[in-house]
Each structure stands twice: as structure tokens, then as C-alpha cells.
């Protein structure tokens, strides 16, 4: 479940990033968060492949995996919020 949640977050941040870039803007916090979620999705994909190699299913739909997915999403969004605040403080100083 954490794989599905992480891929959804990565796709959402990718769409936001592409939409902003097409308007001529570049947001470092959005770009960094997008890369974090894609990196996490890649990590979970490798873990899923290892599970398939051991005879298990690719997706783990257990409650523990769902909780792990929410922890990953919450952590990524918290880092995104911190980067936004730091970016705004940096712009306010300049």
C-alpha cells in the first residue's frame, strides 16, 4: 500500500511541477519533494520485486503497510512545508 500511496504523491507533485514550469516558474520545494517521492517509489518498487522473487505478492495491502504509507506521506509533506517556509524566509531577507 505504501508503494501505491507514494506513486500517487509522486504523480501529483509531478503534475504540479510541470504545470508551474509551463507557466515559467520553478519551485525548488516542489521539485525536491517530487524527487523525494519518486525516489521512495523506486525504493518500494525494488522491495516489491524482491518480494516477488521470494514468492510473495508485489503489493502489501496490510494495515502496517498502510500506516507506513501515511508516515512516508506525512514526512514528505512536512519536509515540503519546511522547505516552503525556508524559501519564503530567504526571499523576505533579500
What pLDDT digit, counting tens, does each position of 11-49 carry?
Answer: 999 999 999 999 988 889 999 999 999 999 999 999 999
What b/e sequence results for 25-55 when a residue is b if at least 16 CB atoms lie within 10 Å of its CB, and e otherwise?
eebebbbebbebbbebbeebeeebeeeeeee
Alpha helices in the chain (DSSP H): 2-22, 28-53, 63-93
Residue with cell 515540503: 80
Confidence of residue 92 (pLDDT cuts 50, 70, 90): confident
What pLDDT digit, counting tens, does each position of 46-79 carry?
Answer: 999 998 999 988 888 889 999 999 999 999 999 9
Rounded to the nearest 5 degrees, what angle is found at the Cα of 60, between the Cα atoms of 58 and 66? 140
Amino acid at each position: 500500500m505504501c508503494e501505491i500511496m507514494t506513486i500517487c504523491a509522486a504523480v501529483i507533485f509531478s503534475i504540479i511541477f510541470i504545470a508551474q514550469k509551463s507557466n515559467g516558474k520553478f519551485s525548488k520545494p516542489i521539485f525536491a519533494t517530487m524527487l523525494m517521492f519518486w525516489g521512495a517509489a523506486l525504493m518500494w518498487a525494488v522491495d516489491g520485486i524482491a518480494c516477488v522473487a521470494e514468492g510473495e505478492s508485489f503489493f502489501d495491502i496490510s494495515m502496517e503497510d498502510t500506516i507506513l504509507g501515511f508516515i512516508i506521506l506525512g514526512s514528505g509533506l512536512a519536509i515540503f512545508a519546511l522547505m516552503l517556509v525556508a524559501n519564503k524566509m530567504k526571499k523576505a531577507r533579500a
